[in-house]
Structure 1
């Protein structure tokens, strides 16, 4: 039943080999453009600390000039043309600049945001890889279901034709079996197209054909950490990465108020300067100067047209916005955790129910086959029972994929999702050939 899906995947990726979930994630880390953009953004964010610290360090500048000078004077012999040049070296060390100190503190918080945003991108990549991976497996399962169904229908169609020829069945049985077979062909075409699309979506993540993917063969469900709905929601409120980013943004907003208020503070710098000027005119002796100075400079803002006070009020309003953003992100994190927790628990119940349904439908199929032998059931009844068994197997596999995805989403909601979780799922995956 799985052979056709195997051949399809191999035809789409002839040079690829069996791949597990962690392998796909590793390839996506190296290729996915969205993740690469996040990595570059983190590297850019790291520079914020360097830029912020620069405001606390000395500022040294070297300057020079070369000039041609022309003097016209009413004094006798006062006209002159001459060249001059100069060289200056200046240095300033901030002694007290409150705004620069706050900017450095903000820069360090911005570095934290850059790191956290990269972690968000990593979690997003994990979820996208898992979703694409399980989508492909689901399509392969659907094709396997259709293949098995076609085989069963073909067998019943052949039997109906034989029975009609010998007069033990009506043409209605043949027509119904033929109609079911034709419908299965249509379903197979649609599902093969869906598989191709999902393989292309996975290829978009990793930059190459995925090849044969390991399939879920372990009936054991992964166990998550224990906890009630409210406990997981509380964990999300504290550990959700987006909520953490907003909390850091609130800290930066607090510091922004402080920075603008510092606009009313004086500034004090230690300064040093060394200047060389060389001048020469025709008819006069050359004049050279060397000037060295060192001291402190004090600047006290008195009135700037209300600009500083306006900026303080703006920063206070933005601080309140940041506080509300924290509240929104915290509530959203709690909602995400609750939804994922409910999906996980309902997923467990659905898997258990489908496992029981598979047992029941298999028993029904066995009974229907026996009824056919004794003449109380028709071949179409057997076909219906066989289809129910196959549907139960397909739905059970889909329920397991959904459960695993819900578990990953729950961990993402509380900020604990990591590549190790994919490696844990790989323990329950096996190459198709090993099944």
Structure 2
């Protein structure tokens, strides 16, 4: 009966422990969780989304230049006159009020407005690629912050365990000194090792605090219980193929290509600016003498052909400037291609080095563990000194610390390869969250809606949702 009761108590205790342990495990945070939070909480992404919306408005303004332009005018003027006739001076004056509406519509300008509109669209597409680059930066920073917290947490745990072992060694040395097996020197060496371990633990705790601050900035909140990533991104190891992928889809290259297209269109717009433009003009107005009841109304409509004759060389300079900017963008495209290829090569080299370091440190930990256990047993038999034990333990500590760093470096290096290839995005990582749609705002403003239109009212609701109104 007592045995059965004991078993029941044990089973109940085990069940309670599982209930307590299960929620703790459920709260463990994965790298994917951290990256989702990094994407959703990034102020840097918010900033660049606003810059993209600003670029969208450039398209709206370019489109608006092709529509009628209607202005109103109002003025009041006082005419004063003074005359002298046969020695008599006469003064007179009249106050006149004018109110009018003027309108103009561009009919033809050799495509200049269309070129500027298309250039603005290319700039929007380039800015979208900039946003993808920022997204990659945010996610890679999140990976680094996540792994650095794990790295430093393991360092702290390692240092704490090392301190406990050294304190045990110190107590053993003191006991052996009491019975005359070791000298005061052995005790002093153990005391020095404990003091150094305490210093190392303090440094590790400080590094962990800094890592947590970096995590808070990158992810947007404090770290919970972090789960060490098991699987790293599957990479083929074919560097040449990875470079080919990067050249096709890396956002920096795609951005540079769009900037070249925009620069080409700006050259054509600058050339068209040297040619005449044809406009439809209209005016209607009324003029009233405020002192009397006289008033008049007038209106006009016409076609105006206007072209430059001489502007001090400004138009020629603008065209040369556009050509120079095109050349600069072509050079930037070339440099972006070289940089992306170099980044892919460097990222793969770092990954291979990190993997090799991890394998080597695993072997170092195994060997150092065997050596430490052997030295400690030999010291108990009097064949080794306390200093030998402390040196062996320090070697083991260094090997374990190097392995911890190597494990973190492998994960960071693997995600760095994805970033170098242009594949470190929420969509590529399949993080399962709703991403920002860069076309949504553009579709609302690309037709340059006015506030009173249905499209304009919808745009107002979007702006209020963004917290910009």
Q: Same fold (TM over 0.5)?
A: yes
Deviation, 1:395, is 2.0
The answer to whether 1:216 aligns with 2:224 is no
SS of residue in 1 equivalent to 2:273: helix
Residue of structure 1 equivalent to 2:297? 289
SS of residue in 1 equivalent to 2:401: helix
Distance in 2 separating the partners of 1:391 and 1:156: 18
What is the TM-score normalised by the length of structure 1?
0.81
The answer to whether 1:49 aligns with 2:59 is yes
SS of residue in 2 equivalent to 1:216: coil
Deviates more, 1:121-130 or 1:387-396: 387-396
The answer to whether 1:153 aligns with 2:166 is yes
Deviation, 1:225, is 3.0
2:408 to 401, 409, 428: 401
1:187 to 184, 200, 224: 200
Distance in 2 separating the partners of 1:48 and 1:404: 41
SS of residue in 1 equivalent to 2:297: strand
Structure 1 segment 9-48 matched on structure 2, within 5 A: 19-29=29-39, 32-48=42-58
Deviation, 1:238, is 3.0
CA separation of 1:168/1:280 partners in 2, compared to 1, >3 Å: closer, same or farther?
Answer: closer
1:239 to 249, 252, 265: 249
Deviation, 1:330, is 1.5
Check the 8 A contact 1:99/1:260 in 2, yes or no: yes
RMSD: 3.1
The answer to whether 1:94 aligns with 2:102 is no
CA separation of 1:423/1:19 partners in 2, compared to 1, >3 Å: closer, same or farther?
Answer: farther
Deviation, 1:90, is 2.1
Deviation, 1:423, is 7.4
What is the TM-score normalised by the length of structure 2?
0.76
Residue of structure 1 equivalent to 2:360? 353
Deviates more, 1:389-398 or 1:67-76: 67-76
1:311 to 301, 312, 318: 318
Distance in 2 separating the partners of 1:21 and 1:333: 26
Deviation, 1:19, is 4.4
1:263 to 260, 270, 273: 273
CA separation of 1:223/1:358 partners in 2, compared to 1, >3 Å: closer, same or farther?
Answer: farther
Deviation, 1:22, is 4.3
Please, which runs of 5 or more residues in structure 1 have no aligned partner? 1-16, 425-435
Structure 1 segment 129-144 matched on structure 2, within 5 A: 129-144=142-157
1:171 to 184, 196, 203: 184
Please, which runs of 5 or more residues in structure 2 have no aligned partner? 1-26, 432-469
Deviation, 1:35, is 3.6
Note the alpha carbon deviations across 1:33-71, whole angstroms, 9 max, x for none: 444322322222221111121222221112233444445
The answer to whether 1:273 aligns with 2:283 is yes
Deviation, 1:112, is 1.6
Distance in 2 separating the partners of 1:408 and 1:160: 48
The answer to whether 1:324 aligns with 2:331 is yes
Check the 8 A contact 1:55/1:104 in 2, yes or no: no
Check the 8 A contact 1:173/1:380 in 2, yes or no: yes
CA separation of 1:31/1:73 partners in 2, compared to 1, >3 Å: closer, same or farther?
Answer: farther
Q: Report the count of equivalent residues.
A: 402
Deviates more, 1:373-382 or 1:190-199: 373-382
Residue of structure 2 equivalent to 1:128? 141
Note the alpha carbon deviations across 1:124-171, whole angstroms, 9 max, x for none: 222222222222222222111111111111112211222222222333
Distance in 2 separating the partners of 1:103 and 1:420: 33
Check the 8 A contact 1:152/1:386 in 2, yes or no: no
Check the 8 A contact 1:270/1:297 in 2, yes or no: yes
Deviation, 1:417, is 0.8
Distance in 1 separating the partners of 2:295 and 2:233: 88
The answer to whether 1:230 aligns with 2:237 is no
